[in-house]
């Protein structure tokens, strides 16, 4: 299987190696020799190539785990930022609601959130900070 710089494995060989990897991700030299004897599809692969395949496979697994962990951290940070933003908005709405309770003679009469006094004088909502 020495046809250039890199070893190329058949899909069947990769499947066999993957199956073996799930059983034992870090086989000893003795175990690798036994794998070659027990699995005829691997008999044409040098023990060193098998060793390198397992090293590369462990490296890929580690990279995937790190990438997955990084994605989880990013999702958590995004959720925390969104939570902070919503908490600030909530606090602002509560402050505005308290300010509106201070003005009991006013009432909200339109969907545009205009405030109308009992004398029907329109008062601008600016300064009262309606929550929209």
- Domains in the chain with CATH codes: 11-76 (1.10.10.60)
Q: What is the pLDDT of residues 49-84, one digit of tens each?
A: 999 999 999 999 999 999 999 999 999 999 999 999
Q: Contact 99/129 with Cβ under 8 angstroms?
A: yes
Model pTM score: 0.58
Q: Is residue 123 scored above 60 in pLDDT?
A: no
Segment 9-41, tens digit of pLDDT: 999 999 999 999 999 999 999 999 998 999 999
Mean pLDDT of 105-113: 54
Roughly what angle, to the nearest 10 degrees, separates helices 29-38 and 47-101? 110
């Amino acid at each position: 299987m020495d046809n250039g710089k890199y070893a190329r494995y058949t899909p069947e060989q990769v499947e066999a190696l993957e199956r073996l990897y799930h059983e034992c991700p870090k086989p000893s030299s003795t175990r690798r020799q036994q794998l070659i004897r027990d699995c005829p599809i691997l008999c044409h692969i040098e023990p060193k190539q098998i060793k390198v395949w397992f090293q590369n496979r462990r490296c890929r697994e580690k990279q995937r785990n790190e990438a997955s962990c990084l994605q989880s951290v990013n999702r958590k940070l995004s959720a925390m930022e969104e939570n902070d933003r919503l908490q600030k908005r909530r606090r602002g709405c509560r402050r505005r609601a308290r300010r509106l309770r201070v003005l009991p003679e006013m009432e909200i009469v339109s969907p545009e959130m205009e405030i109308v006094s009992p004398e029907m004088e329109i008062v601008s909502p600016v300064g009262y900070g309606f929550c929209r």
